[in-house]
Structure 1
Amino acid sequence: MHTTRPGGTGQIGALLLTDARLPGGGHAYSAGLEPGLRAGVPATAVPDYIAARLRTVGLVEASATVLAHRAVLETPRGLAAVHDALLARTPSAPLRDVSGMLGRGLVRLVRRLAPDDPAVAHLDALGRTPQRPVVLGVAAAVLGASEEQAARASLYDDAQTVASASLKLAPVDPVDAAGWVLGAEPLIEEMVATALAVTDPADMPATAAPQADQWSLDHQRETRRLFVA
């Protein structure tokens, strides 16, 4: 168990944070795909849905991840400002709740892997619902991953979450789902570069996804569902 931040390239840490087997609660989240399909989005449009998320929600969250990573390494007290900026860009209460649930799972991971790291105390200060992108940035820093690796992990995880959920929600060939994620690589790299260029919480992108926000509100009232959002 690590008590200090590991050295090296951080590549294993970055891979760990994108592993679907990580005990962080991600299996309960479809990144909005379930309510989208219920609303009439055809399964054939899932690649377009992945791309739309990467340009909107994905970019916002990757930017928050980068800023949180920097805050841990420079001024940890700045985490609260990043967290507040992300909350302001997440108007849907159900989506804030889900992000907080996933964030708590990552906090548990960081606390167990690096209990003596000062970043853990700053995560605790964010309250009971620390938003996942902020915790992801902290976790990446603690595990020795770079801010670029953290941004890529955030965006890859978003695309992979949608693709994985599609296998449970629609008649999708797993090979096709894998191809969708691979096909998103150029866009992911573009969004990584954009996220890395953000220098201040006030400048964090506010690319809205109002339809997805509405779907999340509708989904919260559903009594028969596979995913929480």
Structure 2
Amino acid sequence: MSSVVDLLLPDGRLPVGGHAHSAGLEPALRAAMPPAQISRYLTARLHTVGRVEAATAVLARRAALSELTDLDQIHSAYAARTSSSALRAASVQLGRGISRLAQQLWPAEPCIAALAAMAAPYRPVAFGVVAAVAGLDDIRTARTALYDDLQTAACAAPKLIAVDPVEPVRWVLALADTVERIADLAVTVTGCADLPAPTAPQIEQWSLEHANRHRRIFHA
């Protein structure tokens, strides 16, 4: 089943609300980032937001298979490394969607019950718990979490700018090696204190500005 889940979890059609998010691309473009810089934006996001989320998902996966009480600590550690309230709110929206789906698919799993007990689980925490239940190992969890964020932005691009639909596919393929390198880094995390904290101040600022806009296509 794990090979199927590798494909299913980052699918934009999965009913967890991902279709309403652009992985920060809409805020970036509305802030006048040139479309020609999208590939660089995606690279920067993978190295910052993506790396933190992938490592958090790996820790959550391990906790789901052993110490469920550690999920709250992982949840807090992720929040401490995500300074933008808008990014945290977007992560909660997605985390709740993943949690609802998991409760329907695996209602008898203790770690899913623990996830359901969290009022506002962040996306990578929920993602890691589902990865554990679905049989993904650490590297698959990290890789899938990174790809999910990457394809979310790529799929949003044609809705935001005039671009050949082939171009977003090219962006994703060009970053395949980057995804693998960051996934390799993510699985080296040993605990909450070891969780990486690379920052993306511009992405954070854009997310805060976007949260106050009344006319927008995506939540974040």
Specify the TM-score bucket, using the shorter chain as the normaliser.
Answer: over 0.9
CA distance in 1, matches of 2:214, 2:107: 39
CA distance in 1, matches of 2:4, 2:157: 27
Instruction: Tell me if 1:65 matches 2:37.
Output: no
Matches within 5 A, 1:167-186: 167-186=158-177
CA distance in 2, matches of 1:75, 1:15: 27
Matches within 5 A, 1:24-35: 24-35=16-27
Mapped contact 2:107–2:113 kept (Cα < 8 A): no
What amino acid is aligned across from residue 174 of structure 1 in structure 2? Answer: P
Matches within 5 A, 1:14-93: 14-93=6-85
Unaligned runs of 5+ residues in structure 2 are none
1:97-141: per-residue Cα shift (whole Å, max 9, x none)?
1111111110011111110000122112322x2100110000111
Matches within 5 A, 1:96-135: 96-127=88-119, 129-135=120-126
List, as ranges, runs of 4+ consecutive aligned residues in structure 1 with deviation greater than 3 Å. Answer: none
Mapped contact 1:137–1:147 kept (Cα < 8 A): no
Instruction: Tell me if 1:162 matches 2:153.
Output: yes
Alpha-carbon offset, residue 91 of structure 1: 1.0
CA distance in 1, matches of 2:148, 2:116: 24
Mapped contact 2:112–2:130 kept (Cα < 8 A): no
Alpha-carbon offset, residue 210 of structure 1: 0.9
CA distance in 1, matches of 2:191, 2:79: 15
Match of 1:5 in 2: none
CA distance in 2, matches of 1:38, 1:196: 34
CA distance in 1, matches of 2:36, 2:164: 11
The normalised TM-score by structure 1 is 0.94
Match of 1:4 in 2: none
What amino acid is aligned across from residue 60 of structure 2 in structure 1? Answer: A
CA distance in 1, matches of 2:100, 2:113: 12
1:52-93: per-residue Cα shift (whole Å, max 9, x none)?
000000000000000000111121111111111001111111
Per the alignment, in what secondary structure is the counterpart of residue 162 of structure 2?
Answer: coil
What amino acid is aligned across from residue 146 of structure 1 in structure 2? Answer: D
Alpha-carbon offset, residue 157 of structure 1: 0.8
Unaligned runs of 5+ residues in structure 1 are 1-7
Mapped contact 1:14–1:153 kept (Cα < 8 A): yes
Instruction: Tell me if 1:204 matches 2:204.
Output: no
What amino acid is aligned across from residue 116 of structure 1 in structure 2? Answer: A
Match of 1:149 in 2: 140
Taking only aligned residues, the RMSD between alpha carbons, in angstroms, comes to 0.9
CA distance in 2, matches of 1:121, 1:100: 17
Share of identical aligned residues, percent?
49
CA distance in 2, matches of 1:75, 1:223: 42
What amino acid is aligned across from residue 173 of structure 1 in structure 2? Answer: D
Match of 1:137 in 2: 128
Per the alignment, in what secondary structure is the counterpart of residue 56 of structure 1?
Answer: helix
Alpha-carbon offset, residue 16 of structure 1: 1.1
Match of 1:12 in 2: 4
